[in-house]
Structure 1
Amino acid sequence: MKPVALLSALTFALAATASLASAAPAPDTVFDYTTPVSWPATPKLHSVPAAFGDASAVTVLDERSTEFRKEGDGFAVYETFHKIIHIRDDKGIEMFNKMYLPVREGSEVSNIKARTVTAAGKVIDVTPDKIKSTTEDGNEYRQFAMDGVEKGSEVEYYYEQKRPFYLFGSEFFQNGQVPCVTARFLLISPPSMQFSAKGYNGFTVSPDSIIADKRIIVGQEENIRDLPEEKYSFRDQYLSRVDFKLSYNRSGDGVPVRLYTWRDLGKRAYAFYTTHTDKEDKALQAFALKLPEPTDTSLGGRISFLEDYIKTHIDIDKKLTSADGDQLVQVLTTKTANDEGIIRLFARLLLWEDVPFEIVLASDRSGIPLDPDLEDWDRAENVLFFFPGTGAYMDPTQDGTRYPYVRPNLAGGRGIFLKSISLGSYTTATATWGMVPIAPWDSSSLDMEADIRFSGGLDTLLVHGRQIMTGYGAAEYRPIYTFLPKDKQDDANKDIIKSIGNSTDVNNIAVHNPHMTDAFHNAPLVIEADIRCPDLIENAGSRLLVKIGEIIGTQTEMYQERPRQLPAEMPFPHKEYRTITLHLPEGYTAKNLKDLNMDVSYPDMGFTSSYTQTGSDVTVAIHESYRTLRYPLEAFDNFKKVINASADFNKVVLVLEKAN
Structure 2
Amino acid sequence: MKNIIYAISLCLLFSNVSSQDFSLPYTFSGTPDFSVLIKDYDLQANDEIRVLDDKVVEYAYDNKGSLYEYLYIHVVNYVNSEEAIDRNNKIYVSLSEANQLVAYDCRVVSSSKEIKLLGKDALKEGTNDDGEKVHYFAVSGAEKGSFIEYFYLIKRTANISGNFFVFQREIPVAKSIFKIISPKNLVFITKSYNGYTELQTDTSLKDKNYLYAECSNIKRIEKEDFANEDANKMMVIFQLDYNTSSNKRKYFNYGLACQNIFENISAAPSSKAKKEIETILKKSNIAYARDEENKIFKIEDYVKKTFNFIDNPNEQLSNLDYILKFKAYNASGGIKLFYHLLETAGIENEIVLTSNRYDVRFDADFESWLFLNEYLFYFPKLQKFLMPKATAYRIGIIPYGYINNNGLFIRKVKVGDIYTGVGKVKFIPPNTADHTQHIMIINAKINSTMDSVNVNLKQTYTGYYAQSYQPYFDYIATDKIKTFEQEIINSMFKDITIKTLNIENKGGENLMINPLVIKSDFSSGNLIEKANDKILLKFGDLIGPQSELYQEHERVFPVENDFNRNYSREIHFTIPEGYFIKNPESLIIVSQPFLNEGDGSGFVSSYKLEGNELTVNISEYYRQISFPIEDYEKCRSIINAAANFNKIVLVLEKNN
Give yes or no for TM over 0.5. yes
- Unaligned runs of at least 5 residues, structure 2: 594-598
Q: Is the 1:502–1:551 Cα contact (8 Å) retained in structure 2?
A: no
Tell me, in whole angstroms, the C-alpha distance in 2 between the residues paired with 1:49 and 1:222: 13
Among 604, 607, 611, the alignment partner of 2:607 is 611
1:549 aligns to what? 540
Q: Secondary structure at the match of 2:113?
A: coil
1:58 aligns with 2:49: yes
Q: Is the 1:467–1:497 Cα contact (8 Å) retained in structure 2?
A: no
State how many pairs are aligned. 644
Deviation at 1:417, TM superposition (A): 0.5
Among 258, 282, 295, the alignment partner of 1:302 is 295
For residues 142-291 of structure 1, the aligned pairs below 5 Å read 142-167=135-160, 168-176=162-170, 178-208=171-201, 211-252=205-246, 255-279=247-271, 280-289=273-282, 291=284
Q: Is the 1:90–1:151 Cα contact (8 Å) retained in structure 2?
A: yes
Aligned AA (2:151):
Y
The 1:239–1:650 alpha-carbon spacing in structure 2 relative to 1, beyond 3 Å, is same
2:497 aligns to what? 505
2:558 aligns to what? 567
TM-score (norm 1): 0.92
Deviation at 1:179, TM superposition (A): 0.9
Tell me, in whole angstroms, the C-alpha distance in 2 between the residues paired with 1:243 and 1:320: 24
Deviation at 1:421, TM superposition (A): 0.8
- Unaligned runs of at least 5 residues, structure 1: none
Deviation at 1:285, TM superposition (A): 3.6
Q: Secondary structure at the match of 2:510?
A: helix
Q: Is the 2:286–2:299 Cα contact (8 Å) retained in structure 1?
A: no
Deviation at 1:439, TM superposition (A): 0.9
1:588 aligns with 2:608: no
Among 112, 120, 124, the alignment partner of 1:132 is 124
2:33 aligns to what? 44
The 1:293–1:165 alpha-carbon spacing in structure 2 relative to 1, beyond 3 Å, is closer
Q: Is the 2:443–2:456 Cα contact (8 Å) retained in structure 1?
A: yes
Tell me, in whole angstroms, the C-alpha distance in 1 between the residues paired with 2:228 and 2:485: 29
141-150 vs 459-468, which deviates more? 141-150
Q: Secondary structure at the match of 1:271?
A: helix
For residues 232-631 of structure 1, the aligned pairs below 5 Å read 232-252=226-246, 255-279=247-271, 280-289=273-282, 291-319=284-312, 321-323=314-316, 325-521=317-513, 523-602=514-593, 603-631=599-627
1:644 aligns to what? 640
Tell me, in whole angstroms, the C-alpha distance in 2 between the residues paired with 1:78 and 1:440: 47
Tell me, in whole angstroms, the C-alpha distance in 2 between the residues paired with 1:158 and 1:328: 45
Aligned AA (1:40):
S
1:22 aligns with 2:17: yes
Tell me, in whole angstroms, the C-alpha distance in 1 between the residues paired with 2:494 and 2:284: 46
Aligned AA (2:530):
N
Tell me, in whole angstroms, the C-alpha distance in 2 between the residues paired with 1:184 and 1:391: 44
The 1:203–1:492 alpha-carbon spacing in structure 2 relative to 1, beyond 3 Å, is same
Tell me, in whole angstroms, the C-alpha distance in 2 between the residues paired with 1:200 and 1:77: 23
Q: Is the 1:197–1:374 Cα contact (8 Å) retained in structure 2?
A: no
Q: Secondary structure at the match of 2:526?
A: helix
The 1:105–1:618 alpha-carbon spacing in structure 2 relative to 1, beyond 3 Å, is farther
Q: Is the 1:358–1:417 Cα contact (8 Å) retained in structure 2?
A: yes
Tell me, in whole angstroms, the C-alpha distance in 1 between the residues paired with 2:461 and 2:307: 28
Deviation at 1:564, TM superposition (A): 0.9
2:77 aligns to what? 85
564-573 vs 475-484, which deviates more? 475-484
Percent same amino acid at aligned positions?
27
Tell me, in whole angstroms, the C-alpha distance in 1 between the residues paired with 2:347 and 2:627: 37
Deviation at 1:259, TM superposition (A): 0.8
Q: Secondary structure at the match of 1:535?
A: coil
The 1:500–1:182 alpha-carbon spacing in structure 2 relative to 1, beyond 3 Å, is closer
Q: Is the 1:103–1:140 Cα contact (8 Å) retained in structure 2?
A: no
43-52 vs 375-384, which deviates more? 43-52
Q: Secondary structure at the match of 2:288?
A: coil
Q: Secondary structure at the match of 2:470?
A: coil
Q: Is the 2:181–2:209 Cα contact (8 Å) retained in structure 1?
A: yes
TM-score (norm 2): 0.93
The 1:291–1:60 alpha-carbon spacing in structure 2 relative to 1, beyond 3 Å, is closer
Q: Secondary structure at the match of 2:35?
A: coil
Tell me, in whole angstroms, the C-alpha distance in 1 between the residues paired with 2:172 and 2:156: 28
443-452 vs 374-383, which deviates more? 374-383
Tell me, in whole angstroms, the C-alpha distance in 2 between the residues paired with 1:258 and 1:569: 33
Q: Secondary structure at the match of 2:592?
A: strand
Tell me, in whole angstroms, the C-alpha distance in 2 between the residues paired with 1:228 and 1:20: 46
Deviation at 1:148, TM superposition (A): 3.5
Q: Secondary structure at the match of 1:635?
A: helix
